[in-house]
Structure 1
Amino acid sequence: MIERLIGFSLRNRYLVLLIGSILFGAGIYSVKKSKIDAIPDLSENQVIVFTEWMGRSPQIIEDQVTYPLVTNLQGLPKVKYVRANSMFGMSFIYVIFEDDVDTYWARSRVLERLSSVSSTLPDGVSPTLGPDGTGVGHILWYTLNAKSIDLGEQRAIQDWYVKFGLQNVPGVSEVASFGGFVKSYELSIDPNKLTYFNISLDEVIKAVRTNNNEAGGRKFELSDVGYIIKTNGYIKNIEELKGITIKTTNSIPVKVNDIATVQMSSENRLGIFDFNGEGETVGGIIVMRYGENADEVIQNVKNKMTEVAKGLPEGVSFNIVYDRSGLIKESINSIKNTLIEEIIVVTVIVFLFLMHWRSAISIIIQIPVTIASSFILLNAFDISSNIMSLTGIALAIGVIVDNGIIMTENAYKHLSVRYQEINEKNTSENKS
């Protein structure tokens, strides 16, 4: 088989050169389209289910949320195992699928099962899926430089402006906010006043929820002009919240301000984010979507940051604290320099040992063609160009050259013997 293949190649040299040129051109194209990252993604094929039920102890979360979800998710097809973790007010479930399962197929199966399981959970509890990223999806961290603005305002800028802008970047799965204070209205209710006015806590909650809402009316026409009737019920400041009427007793309205103290506050925090010991700060984490090109996504995020920065308040700017693109460039450049050095060394050694330029060229030309062709396979199997895959290519150069040297030296030896036999035969014929 090999002998026939070699014979066919020798008889069709131009065809072999054409195939080699096509492979080299396709390889160069694959190099440009190859996904670039610093490290390979070896994380498990998992889907995270997050459920929040604030104020409940870990045991209640385990019994009423985590256990029902785990028992139902274990029956999904192609699931290896299910892990769970219950903590104060939160439940995390990790559904591990087999490695050959498509990530988005797995997420759709989990969503289908959650739609039927949600009815067995307590009221107000709604499980959600985590981002479609992996364990190495955190590609960029940033903070906001805003010394003159308090942490509550910084968090509001992050949650309602910066986050929405960066989430539109292709390849970004999530922008996770951290630090600062999430603003909220706080009602400190006096129980003695509730008893005095004969008002229950449920009545207060219902009144606040009802008045913090939009209500639609109807449309009517007057003088060939259409008018839409609606009420603007969303609470905009503390004074509006204080003026909400809970009930009317003897034609006298009892308002929120009569039974409670209203003030601006923040949601409970489980920790803080400190930057270099200089105090608290606010920022975000860019999570890359599964299977994306890390280097390209980071560059797109930076370009988007430049656009978003134009709309920030005066004195507010971005500060990138972690950027994987630097590690990616260092890794790629290191492997690239190694490949160039290996090619140069191999070229010199081949010339010195063979002392035949045609044979040396036939061996050296295999190196760029083989390296370029290897990127075709990397893209075909959806493997990124990282420090591991490129190191494997660098190590394979020695094997490529060894095979070429052995084959070329063997062919050169047989041709020399054959050439010597022909010369001896011609010499004997001339003498006769």
Structure 2
Amino acid sequence: VNALGGFVKTYEVAPRRADMATLKVSTEQIIEALQRNNRNDGAGRLDQGEEAILVRVAGALTSLEEIANIRISNVDGNSFALRQLADIRLGAMERYGSVTVDGNSEAVQGLVIGLRGANARHVVKGVKEKLAELQPALPDGTEINVFYDRSQLIEQAVGTVGEALLQAVLLVLIVLGLF
């Protein structure tokens, strides 16, 4: 599922250079402390032939307060809370587009892409089941609106292929009968 629109929450740490210099703490020390305290393992994308598997590792830190309380030691062995060196705030990931419903209000679009060779009928059925499962868990005022459903296209295509096969069988029988 590719998501477009909306905001993805981030926790941002903006070091204050003057405070870092005064307390003798480097940027690398801040990065190491964040990684160590968040047990943040590598994440990214694993390519396997024509497929890509996205790997997401959720960190242990879950609030601004937890991040602000991370302890960092300087070269002299003194320990400081991260809040003494940096501003910690909520932010959002860089957006690469937006989606609107009516040209005014913003929405989030989820685009489901089936893998090559997947049974499209099964994919659509699975998506419909998952949407029905998700609907009751949505926050108040949030709803799922399907604006393009391929199931009709799939049914028409299957019907057309079935009709063509039936016509071909009839033609072969007629030709065999003539011979």
With the length of structure 2 as denominator, give the TM-score of the two structures: 0.72
The alignment partner of 1:284 has SS state of strand
How much does 1:246 deviate? 1.4
Cα–Cα, structure 1 residues 251 and 394, in superposed 2: closer, same or farther, change >3 Å? closer
The equivalent of 1:17 in structure 2 is: none
The equivalent of 1:259 in structure 2 is: 85
How much does 1:326 deviate? 1.8
Matched, 1:403 2:175: yes
Paired with 1:244 and 1:403, the residues of 2 have a C-alpha distance of 83
Cα–Cα, structure 1 residues 213 and 318, in superposed 2: closer, same or farther, change >3 Å? same
Matched, 1:318 2:144: yes
The equivalent of 2:68 in structure 1 is: 242
CA contact (8 A) 2:71 2:82 kept: yes
How much does 1:330 deviate? 3.6
Paired with 1:251 and 1:263, the residues of 2 have a C-alpha distance of 27
Q: Greater RCO between the two (CA within 8 Å, min separation 6)?
A: 2
The equivalent of 1:102 in structure 2 is: none
Equivalent positions of 1:18-97 (< 5 A) are: none
For these two proteins, the number of residue pairs brought into alignment is 161
The equivalent of 1:303 in structure 2 is: 129
Any idea what the Cα deviations from partners look like across 1:4-58, whole Å, max 9, x if unmatched? xxxxxxxxxxxxxxxxxxxxxxxxxxxxxxxxxxxxxxxxxxxxxxxxxxxxxxx
The equivalent of 2:20 in structure 1 is: 194
Q: Which of 169, 183, 193 is the aligned partner of 2:9?
A: 183
The alignment partner of 1:193 has SS state of helix
Cα–Cα, structure 1 residues 399 and 263, in superposed 2: closer, same or farther, change >3 Å? same
The code of the aligned residue for 1:271 comes to G
Equivalent positions of 1:219-238 (< 5 A) are: 234-238=60-64
Cα–Cα, structure 1 residues 328 and 244, in superposed 2: closer, same or farther, change >3 Å? same
Matched, 1:212 2:38: yes
How much does 1:390 deviate? 4.8
Equivalent positions of 1:319-338 (< 5 A) are: 319-333=145-159, 335=160
Any idea what the Cα deviations from partners look like across 1:107-162, whole Å, max 9, x if unmatched? xxxxxxxxxxxxxxxxxxxxxxxxxxxxxxxxxxxxxxxxxxxxxxxxxxxxxxxx
Paired with 1:300 and 1:210, the residues of 2 have a C-alpha distance of 39
Matched, 1:271 2:97: yes
Paired with 1:270 and 1:176, the residues of 2 have a C-alpha distance of 12
Q: Over alpha carbons, which structure has the higher Rg?
A: 1
Deviates more, 1:302-311 or 1:180-189: 302-311
Q: Which of 100, 112, 116 is the aligned partner of 1:286?
A: 112
Paired with 2:16 and 2:130, the residues of 1 have a C-alpha distance of 49
Paired with 2:96 and 2:126, the residues of 1 have a C-alpha distance of 32
Paired with 2:66 and 2:98, the residues of 1 have a C-alpha distance of 31
Cα–Cα, structure 1 residues 207 and 293, in superposed 2: closer, same or farther, change >3 Å? closer
With the length of structure 1 as denominator, give the TM-score of the two structures: 0.33
The alignment partner of 1:288 has SS state of coil
Any idea what the Cα deviations from partners look like across 1:223-264, whole Å, max 9, x if unmatched? xxxxxxxxxx93221122112221268886422212211100
Cα–Cα, structure 1 residues 288 and 201, in superposed 2: closer, same or farther, change >3 Å? same
The code of the aligned residue for 1:204 comes to I
Q: What residue ranges of structure 2 are gaps of 5+ in the alignment?
A: 41-58
Greater helix content:
1
Identical-pair percentage = 27
Paired with 1:251 and 1:332, the residues of 2 have a C-alpha distance of 72
Any idea what the Cα deviations from partners look like across 1:382-417, whole Å, max 9, x if unmatched? xxxxxxx4575366367436525633xxxxxxxxxx
CA contact (8 A) 2:23 2:74 kept: no
CA contact (8 A) 2:24 2:75 kept: no
How much does 1:187 deviate? 1.3
Cα–Cα, structure 1 residues 248 and 289, in superposed 2: closer, same or farther, change >3 Å? closer
Paired with 1:177 and 1:287, the residues of 2 have a C-alpha distance of 11
Any idea what the Cα deviations from partners look like across 1:176-195, whole Å, max 9, x if unmatched? 33321221111121212222
The equivalent of 1:416 in structure 2 is: none
Paired with 2:97 and 2:130, the residues of 1 have a C-alpha distance of 29
Paired with 2:93 and 2:32, the residues of 1 have a C-alpha distance of 20
